[in-house]
Amino acid sequence: NAGVTQTPKFQVLKTGQSMTLQCAQDMNHNSMYWYRQDPGMGLRLIYYSASEGTTDKGEVPNGYNVSRLNKREFSLRLESAAPSQTSVYFCASSEWRDSYEQYFGPGTRLTVT
């Protein structure tokens, strides 16, 4: 099992450009999450999807949109990138009907200039 995979691993954008971060899991988990991690700030939740067909805002949703494409895939879109969105982005999944620990992907390091 690959677990949680994310693409791309690294990305540099110019202010105003758009991009989509892709995430997929092969553990048949119902719930998926997008976090950003900044120095001194810890993990902050951007959006989550409790189950296929639902998405909800987390702590810091402004400037982002998400799509739960199917049970396996959950994408994060930046419509007009800003320097404040420079961060490391992590996707995670969990099975809330079971023991609900989260499994994280390797992260995408995004720089917006």
Partner 1 sequence: EDQVTQSPEALRLQEGESSSLNCSYTVSGLRGLFWYRQDPGKGPEFLFTLYSAGEEKEKERLKATLTKKESFLHITAPKPEDSATYLCAAYPGGSYIPTFGRGTSLIVHP
DSSP single-letter state for residue 4: E
Query: Binding of partner 1 at residue 75 (CB under 8 A)?
Result: no
Which range of residues in 11-19, 21-29, 77-85, 89-97 is near partner 1 by CB under 8 A? 89-97
Give phi and psi for 104, each to the nearest 5. Answer: -105, 150
Give the DSSP H/E element, type plus range, for residue 36: strand 31-38
Query: Do 52 and 30 meet the contact criterion of CB atoms below 8 Å apart?
Result: yes
Site string for partner 1, 16-45 (x = CB under 8 A): ---------------x--------xxxx-x
Query: Binding of partner 1 at residue 92 (CB under 8 A)?
Result: yes
Nearest distance from residue 84's CB to partner 1, in Å?
A: 19
Query: Binding of partner 1 at residue 90 (CB under 8 A)?
Result: yes
Pairwise CA distance, residues 47 & 105, whole Å:
15
